[in-house]
Chain A
Amino acid sequence: MRLFDRAAGFCYRLVYTVVFLFFLTPVVVIAATSLSSSSPASFPPESVSLRWYVGFLGDGGWISAVGNSLLVAATTSVLAVALGASAAYGLRSVDEGKRKLVLALAVFPLATPLVIIAVSLLVVMGRAQAVGSYAAVVVGHTVITAPLALLITYGALSRVDWSVRDSALDLGAKPVRAFREATFPQMRSAVVASAFVAAVLSMHEFLISLFLTDFTTRTVPVLTWMALRNRLDPTASVVSTLLVVGVFLGLGIAAAAVGLSKLARDL
C-alpha cells in the first residue's frame, strides 16, 4: 500500500511538471525562432540574429496589421466595458426574472461556437455591405467581450460593501460623488480586469477576424495565419513574441494600477 501510494505520488508530480513545461513550450519556441537567423523558422535556432526584427520593422503589411489590431482591441475594450460593466451595475436594480434573462443573454454568446457567430455576422454584415470595415470586426469582438465584462463586473459588484456608499451619502456626498468616491473604487479592479480581458481577447481573436476583415483591416492573427499558409515565416515569430511580451506588459501595468491580488480575484 505504501509503495503504491509512493508510485502514485511520483506520477502526480511527474504529470503536473510535464504539463507545466507543456504550457511554456510554445512561448520558448516562438521567442527562439524569432531570434534565429535561418528561414524557414526552425527550433532550436542555429545562430542568433535580429534580422527578422529588422525585417518586421520594414514590412508595411505587418506594421499595418499591428496598427489594425491595436485599433480594434482598444475600441473593443472601451465598447465592451461601456456596455458590459454599466449593464452589470444596472442589473442590481432589475427584478429577479429579468435579471436571469439578461444573464442568460450574457452567457449564450460565450457558449455559442465561434464559427456560428462569425458566419452569422458575416451574413448580416454582408447585407449591410460592412464586411471588411473596422466596425464589423469591432462589433464581432464586442459581441463576445461585452458579456465577459458584464460577468466579471457583476461578480465584483456582489462583493461591494454598499454601506460604504451609504456612509458617503450620509457624510454629505451627493449621489454622483458618492459613486465616484465610495462605490467605483470598490469595482475599479473589475473594470480594469474587464478592459484587459476584452483587449487581449480581441488582440488574439482569429476566427471572427478572418471572416470579417479584408486586406486593409486584417489583424495580426489573420496575417499570421496567411503568412503561415505558405511557409514558416520567422516574421510571424517576431510578431507573436512581441504580442506575448505586449500582453504581459499590459498585465503588469494593469496589476500595478489596481494591485495584483485584486486583479487575480476579479479575473
Chain B
Amino acid sequence: MTGNHEATVSLEGLSVAYGDERAIDDVSFEVHRGEIFCLLGPSGCGKTTTLKTVAGLESPDEGDVYVRGSRVTDEPAYSRDTSVVFQEWALFPHKTVLENVEFAPRMDGESRERRAEEARSVIETVGLSGKEDAYPEELSGGQKQRVAFARSLAADPSVLLLDEPLSNLDEGLRREMRLEILRIHEEFGKTTVHVTHDQQEAFTLADRVGIMRDGCLIQVGEPSEVYSEPKNRFVDDFLGETTFVEGTVSDGCIETPVATFAADAEDGDVEVSLRPEEVFLSAPEPSPDGGGSVSGTGEVIKRIDQGSIVRYHVHADSLEDRLLSEYSAREDPGFSEGQTVSVSVVDDPRVFDESGRRVT
C-alpha cells in the first residue's frame, strides 16, 4: 500500500499536562509517507491534543515531534509544514470561500493572480465551483466541510491533520464524506493523521490505526490486525460489540458457564470475549456441526433484522448476560423470538485476565 516506509511524522515520548492532569502521556508513533493514520479512542482520550502538538497549536511538556525527519518541537504552528481540518471547521466567518481557500498561499506571499488560480483549482477539486463568493454562513455543513478541506489542501502541507472533521455531519453525509476523503487522498496523496471516535470511520479510512485511552497510546496496527488481535480488554471492547463472559482457569482449561476452552494460561479468574460473529445458533437437537464447542441451549429473546445482517439476542440458560449472534442475511437460520435454540461458540476466543491484559 505505502510504497515508501519512510516516516513523515514521528512522535517520541510526547506528554502534555494541564495543571496536574496529564492530557497525553508518553505517546510515540510514526506515520508513513502517503498513508492515512487514524487515532481512535473515546472522547477525552487525548487524541485531539496529540494532533494539536503535531500541528504546533499545543506545546508538549516532554518529548519531540518530527516532520519529514526534522525536529519541529519548538517551531510555531505557522512555520510547520502541516495543516489541520478542524472539528468545527473554523472557517474565517467574514471571508468568502475563495478568500478562505487562498489564505495560506496569501500568507506565503504569492501574487494575487497565482493564489486565486490555485484556490480555484482546489475548490473545483472538492466540488464547490460556483460557490467561490459565498460566505461560510451561507453554506451547508457538507459544503463547509469541503471548504475546510480545500483551505488546508491549498496550503500544500506535507501532512494533513484531520480533527474529527465528520463529527458534525449527519449519518448519510458522513458516509458520503468518508468516500470523499478517500478520493481526495488518492488525488493528492497527502500523508494524513485522522482523529476520530468512530470505529467504522477509522476502519473505512485507515491504513493503520492507533487506539488511545486516558492519554496513552495502547495499540497500533492495521485495522484487521487490531480487530482480530486486540492487546487488551479495552481494545477488544472498544472495537466491537462483544459480550464478556466470566471464567476460571485451572489446569490449562478455561471453565465458563457457556463452554469450556483449552487454554495455555495461569490459574485464576478471567474474562472471555465473545463477539456476535463468534456465537452460533442451531436447531435444538444436538448437532455438533456448529463449528465450535456445543455449549447448551438458550432462548431467542430478540431478532433484529438490519437488512444486510440479522442479529439475535439470546439468553443462554447457564448465563445471566445475553449473548449476541450475528448472521449475514443470506445465512440467516431464521429463528423466531421465544424459540429455544442450541448455542455454540468458537473454540479459540480472546481471553483477558483480571487486569484486562490479553492472556490468549
Contacts and interface: CB of A to CB of B under 8 A. Distances in A.
Interface of A: 161, 163-164, 166-175, 177-178, 181-182, 185-186
B88 A172 contact: no
Given A163-B86, A177-B107, A170 B78 contact: yes
Nearest to B84: A170
Given A164-B91, A164-B92, A186-B93, A172 B86 contact: no
Contacts of B107: 171-173, 177
B104 interface: yes
B92 A182 contact: yes
Pairs A-B, 3 closest by C-beta atoms: A172-B107, A163-B90, A169-B77
A177 B87 CA distance: 23
A170 B91 contact: no
Contact of A174 (B78, B80, B83, B155): B78
18 contacts: A161-B90, A166-B77, A166-B86, A167-B91, A167-B151, A168-B103, A169-B56, A169-B76, A170-B55, A170-B57, A171-B78, A171-B155, A172-B155, A175-B76, A175-B78, A185-B92, A185-B94, A186-B93
B103 A164 contact: no
Nearest to A162: B90
**Which of B57, B87, B88, B155: most chain A Cβ within 10 A?**
B57
Nearest to A186: B93
Nearest to B57: A166
Contacts of A175: 76, 78
Interface string B74-118: 001111101110111011111000000001100110000000000
Interface string B53-81: 00111000000000000000000111110
Interface in B33-64: 55-57
Nearest to B107: A172
Contacts of A170: 55-57, 77-78, 80, 82-84
A186 B80 CA distance: 25
A175 to B, nearest CB: 8
A166 B49 CA distance: 13
Interface of B: 55-57, 76-80, 82-84, 86-88, 90-94, 103-104, 107-108, 151-152, 155
Nearest to A188: B94
A163 B88 contact: yes
**Which of A166, A174, A186: most chain B Cβ within 10 A?**
A166
Nearest to A182: B92
A181 B86 contact: no
Given A172-B78, A173-B107, A177-B107, A167 B90 contact: yes
**Which of A168, A172, A177: most chain B Cβ within 10 A?**
A172
Contacts of A169: 56-57, 76-78
Contacts, number: 68
Given A161-B90, A164-B91, A167-B90, 12 more contacts: A166-B57, A166-B90, A169-B77, A170-B55, A171-B103, A171-B104, A172-B108, A173-B103, A173-B107, A178-B78, A181-B92, A186-B93
Nearest to B81: A172
Given A185-B94, A186-B93, A167 B86 contact: yes
A95 to B, nearest CB: 12
A182 B92 CA distance: 6
B118 to A, nearest CB: 13
Contacts of B93: 161, 164, 185-186
A170 B91 CA distance: 12
Contacts of A171: 78, 83, 103-104, 107, 151-152, 155
Contacts of B80: 170
B339 to A, nearest CB: 54
Nearest to B55: A170
Nearest to B76: A169
A171 B151 CA distance: 8
A182 B91 CA distance: 9
Nearest to A167: B90
A177 B92 CA distance: 13
Contacts of B57: 166, 169-170
Contacts of B108: 172
Contacts of A167: 84, 86, 90-92, 151
Nearest to A163: B90
Contacts of B56: 169-170
B169 to A, nearest CB: 17
**Which of B83, B88, B91, B94: most chain A Cβ within 10 A?**
B94
A168 B92 CA distance: 8
Contact of B88 (A161, A168, A186): A161
Nearest to A164: B90
B104 A172 contact: yes
B90 A173 contact: no
Contacts of A186: 93-94
A168 B76 CA distance: 12
Contacts of A161: 88, 90, 93
A169 B56 CA distance: 9
Contacts of B152: 171
